[in-house]
């Protein structure tokens, strides 16, 4: 049985007060909170075996190396990658996307086409625009509906033998829309295109199987999965990882160096130049363990109940508009909304005084806001450690703010 109060006890930050009120943390789409078990892993590393990895023969270096590679194996098994060396540890989703974009700079030619969806975070738009400017490739966009869903017939029409790469998020950070990535991957492969899926918003809620998806690249960040900031995961099929050039040059990613020529290390080190976020990688592995211990079936059930309850309660407030799919089975535990005549920032500022953390603004997804002709939204994003009681507090705070601002 899932005991939310027992789970909440694992998160020290949830016990604190903000502005004299118990913290209600509904900004999980930006970053999740960290359980004591992961915090303890971080403390243990710096207290007991802080050393650089892969280079030293001394005991601490070997302990750190073993712990780091064990974490890589945990991440491999979590995402069901075929090989551990298909998991590259990066600074996060943004660096992972840039790694692929940098690699394709040597592959794409003028007139080639790449496809992005209208639901993307800026980190899955800007690197590809830069790539097009560099190579002369053409960027095309899968349009969206007023329900916040991608139009698959339009996607089919965009695909051709000129298509070299398709990139799309698994779940929209701004609307919570769960995209049909299985279909997107299948159709792209039919024309010989590779696919990158941004899983940053999906991985806190579900457990992707990269082999079952047959995806070429999948990226995620630890800090959205109860882990630390500054570390993430880049999965690539072995054939692609061997084809792409290194993203950064330096130590660790080399086999031999002379002033005449450098040869590169084998996978995964070819893409891991310099001293990595060792502690972050180890803690990422601990966060994966923690979430699997909770269980993704239990996580999905708890979060779906919160989504349904929160949606119902907010819809009872006059003037509320909720953006994204009305079919709640097609979205994750994100409610993005506005109140007629009130700027989202004003609501966010007032309810912060009542101890409630939400995100307001364009959520690094300005094209979505432009589509709806709005400056931004109020986004309440729930995690498995949130409760219906917190939603009640949140809804009452929104009502109070609305009264004050009307």
Q: Which residues participate in catalysis according to the annotation? A: 364
C-alpha atoms less than 13 angstroms from C-alpha of 111 in its C-beta half-sphere: 2
Given a contact cutoff of 8 angstroms between Cβ atoms, the answer to whether 181 and 119 are in contact is: no
Tell me the two tokens of residue 77: 């098994």
Pairing of strands 163-169, 194-198: parallel
Tell me the two tokens of residue 154: 């339009």
Give the three-class secondary structure for 88.
strand
Given a contact cutoff of 8 angstroms between Cβ atoms, the answer to whether 253 and 270 are in contact is: yes
Residue 47, burial from CB neighbour count under 10 angstroms (0-12, 13-18, 19+): exposed
Whole-number Å distance between alpha carbons of 118 and 93 = 18
Check residue 246 and report its DSSP letter: P
Give CA angle at 74 (242, 66), nearest 5°.
85
Strands (E), 284-345: 320-323, 334-339
Whole-number Å distance between alpha carbons of 19 and 214 = 48
Whole-number Å distance between alpha carbons of 397 and 392 = 9
List the one residue out of 231, 349, 348 whose CA is nearest residue 283.
231
224 Cβ contact partners less than 8 Å away, ≥ 6 residues apart: 28, 29, 31, 32, 200, 201, 203, 204
Residues in a beta bridge with 378: 337, 360
Which residue shows structure tokens 């302990």? 63
Crossing angle between the packed helical segments 93-104 and 126-135, to the nearest 10 degrees: 10
Given a contact cutoff of 8 angstroms between Cβ atoms, the answer to whether 331 and 309 are in contact is: no
């Amino acid at each position: 049985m899932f005991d939310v109060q027992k789970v909440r006890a694992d998160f020290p930050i949830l016990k604190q007060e903000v502005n004299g009120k118990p913290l209600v943390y509904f900004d999980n789409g930006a970053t999740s909170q960290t359980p004591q078990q992961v915090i303890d892993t971080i403390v243990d590393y710096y207290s007991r075996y802080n050393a650089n990895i892969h280079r030293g023969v001394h005991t601490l270096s070997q302990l750190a190396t073993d712990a780091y590679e064990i974490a890589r194996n945990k991440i491999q098994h979590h995402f069901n990658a075929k090989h551990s060396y298909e998991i590259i540890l990066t600074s996060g989703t943004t660096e992972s996307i840039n790694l692929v974009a940098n690699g394709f700079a040597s592959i794409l030619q003028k007139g080639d086409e790449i496809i992005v969806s209208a639901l993307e975070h800026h980190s899955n738009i800007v690197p590809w625009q830069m790539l097009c400017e560099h190579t002369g490739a053409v960027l095309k966009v899968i349009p969206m509906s007023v329900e916040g869903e991608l139009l698959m017939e339009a996607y089919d029409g965009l695909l051709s033998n000129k298509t070299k790469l398709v990139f799309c998020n698994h779940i929209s950070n701004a609307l919570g829309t769960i995209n049909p990535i299985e279909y997107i991957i299948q159709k792209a492969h039919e024309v010989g295109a590779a696919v990158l899926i941004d899983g940053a918003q999906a991985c806190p809620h579900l457990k992707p199987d990269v082999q079952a998806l047959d995806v070429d690249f999948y990226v995620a960040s630890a800090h959205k999965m109860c882990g630390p900031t500054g570390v993430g995961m880049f999965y690539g099929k072995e054939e692609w990882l061997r084809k792409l050039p290194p993203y950064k040059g330096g130590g660790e990613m080399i086999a031999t160096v002379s002033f005449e020529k450098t040869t590169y290390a084998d996978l995964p080190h070819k893409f891991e130049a310099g001293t990595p976020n060792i502690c972050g990688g180890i803690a990422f592995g601990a966060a994966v363990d923690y979430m699997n211990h909770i269980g993704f079936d239990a996580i999905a059930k708890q979060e779906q109940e919160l989504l349904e309850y929160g949606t119902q309660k907010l819809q009872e407030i006059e003037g509320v508009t909720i953006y994204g799919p009305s079919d709640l089975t097609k979205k994750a535990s994100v409610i993005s909304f506005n109140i007629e005549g009130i700027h989202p920032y004003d609501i966010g500022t007032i309810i912060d005084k009542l101890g409630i953390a939400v995100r307001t603004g364009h959520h690094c997804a300005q094209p979505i806001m432009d589509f709806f002709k709005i400056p931004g939204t109020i986004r309440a994003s729930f995690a498995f450690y949130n409760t219906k009681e917190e939603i009640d507090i949140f809804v009452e705070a929104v009502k109070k703010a609305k009264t004050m601002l009307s």
